[in-house]
């Protein structure tokens, strides 16, 4: 009887452990599935040659927003068109093109305006969010009186809690008008407004990780500096900041990753015109916003559908790489630095 009991208990132990392990494995399984299923839908671009692009004289021209093509652009498009005639099934070449016109009679899937758009927006967002968040974190750690911390910390939590669609809405309705009036801009919605709004979503990430990195610095370091007669601000700038650099760098990388992948804010605040330009005050269309805006309208299995998945794969790989690098920086460099290896 006794041995029976024991055996039954062992069985339940065994089952519990196996079941728990199997359930925990679900997370990993889904990462693999995400890889497989997002990439799977991009495969047709590479394997099946696209049907030969038929030549059509300047037919439909899809433009986004109220931007019209300048003569120079039209001319360059003509050139491109004549080139495209010889381009049988060159879909990869097509992807490298300069135009994103997926729903015209002669669809063009040039990704460069979208990639440039994403980079532009992320750059603007980081240029705003980086300094604000890092200096605010330094302020919290080194100078802030208690009452200031007690306001700042909840403020960061609230900012992090804003759904991105709320930030997007605020940017669309309020921020865009304010920026346009202040700077006298031609377009209400543009890369600058989008980047500025995006920085609101990035600030909490950079702040939190920078603050973690700063508070992970051993007390002995700052105390030594103070004991040597350095002032508080000298310690902050010359001891705390350099020691926290790897962590802050990781914070910025994660911030870039967030900015690059964020969809709703840019979808609502950037104007969504796929222009290839360096002007920060013109509308842009980012990779994420393109997926968000076009996927619902697209026919499954079409080239357009596959190209949108391809854009998603790029987003996935990019943020994945950034996160991996950030992790290495936080884990290894920080440890090494303090151990003095």
- Binding to another protein, residues 128-147 (CB under 8 A): 131-133, 135-136, 138-140, 142-144
173 touches another protein by CB under 8 A: yes
Q: How far is the CB of 107 from another protein (least distance, A)?
A: 19
Distance CA 134, CA 286 (A): 26
Q: How far is the CB of 141 from another protein (least distance, A)?
A: 10
- Beta-carbon contacts of residue 78 (< 8 Å; ≥ 6 apart): 58
Q: How far is the CB of 9 from another protein (least distance, A)?
A: 6
- Binder among 123, 152, 185, 325 for another protein (CB under 8 A): 152
Q: Tell me the per-residue interface mask from 153 to 172 with another protein, x by CB under 8 A, - otherwise.
A: --xxxxx-xxxxxxxxxx-x
Distance CA 239, CA 224 (A): 10
67 touches another protein by CB under 8 A: no
User: Collapsing DSSP states into helix, strand and coil, what is residue 161?
Assistant: helix
CA 67 to centroid of chain Cα atoms: 26
Q: Tell me the per-residue interface mask from 296 to 335 with another protein, x by CB under 8 A, - otherwise.
A: x---x-------xx--x--xx--xx-xx---x--------
Distance CA 80, CA 99 (A): 10
Which CB atom, from 84 or from 172, has the smaller least distance to another protein?
172
In DSSP terms, 108 is beta-bridged to 101
| Tokens 């839908």, located at residue | 41
203 touches another protein by CB under 8 A: yes
Q: How far is the CB of 81 from another protein (least distance, A)?
A: 31
Residue 132 and residue 199 in contact, taking contact as beta carbons nearer than 8 Å? yes
Closest by alpha carbon to 201, among 160, 152, 251, 156?
160
Q: How far is the CB of 71 from another protein (least distance, A)?
A: 31
Which CB atom, from 84 or from 179, has the smaller least distance to another protein?
179
């Amino acid at each position: 009887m006794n041995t029976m009991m024991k055996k039954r208990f062992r069985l339940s132990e065994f089952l519990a452990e196996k079941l728990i392990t199997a359930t925990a494995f679900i997370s990993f399984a889904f990462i693999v599935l995400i890889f497989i299923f997002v990439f799977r839908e991009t495969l047709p671009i590479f394997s099946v040659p696209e049907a030969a692009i038929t030549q059509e004289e300047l037919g439909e021209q899809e433009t986004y927003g109220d931007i019209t093509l300048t003569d120079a652009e039209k001319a360059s498009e003509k050139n491109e068109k004549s080139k495209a005639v010889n381009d049988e099934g060159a879909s990869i070449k097509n992807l490298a093109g300069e135009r994103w016109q997926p729903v015209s009679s002669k669809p063009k899937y040039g990704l460069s305006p979208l990639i440039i758009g994403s980079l532009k927006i992320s750059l603007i967002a980081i240029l705003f969010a980086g300094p604000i968040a890092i200096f605010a974190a330094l302020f919290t750690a080194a100078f802030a009186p208690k009452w200031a911390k007690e306001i700042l910390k909840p403020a960061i939590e609230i900012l992090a809690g804003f759904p991105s669609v709320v930030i997007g809405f605020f940017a669309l309705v309020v921020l865009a008008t304010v920026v346009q009036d202040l700077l006298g801009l031609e377009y209400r919605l543009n890369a600058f407004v989008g980047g500025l709004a995006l920085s609101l979503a990035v600030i909490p990430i950079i702040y939190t990780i920078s603050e973690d990195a700063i508070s992970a610095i051993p007390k002995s370091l700052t105390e030594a500096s103070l004991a040597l007669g350095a002032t508080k601000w000298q310690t902050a700038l010359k001891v705390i900041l350099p020691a926290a650099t790897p962590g802050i760098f990781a914070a910025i990388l994660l911030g870039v990753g967030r900015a690059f992948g964020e969809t709703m804010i840019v979808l609502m605040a950037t104007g969504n015109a796929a222009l290839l330009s360096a002007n920060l005050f013109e509308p842009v269309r980012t990779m994420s916003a393109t997926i968000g805006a076009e996927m619902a309208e697209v026919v499954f299995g079409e080239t357009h559908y596959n190209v949108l998945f391809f854009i998603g794969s790029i987003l996935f790989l990019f943020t994945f790489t950034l996160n991996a690098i950030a992790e290495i920086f936080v884990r290894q460099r920080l440890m090494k630095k303090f151990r003095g290896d």
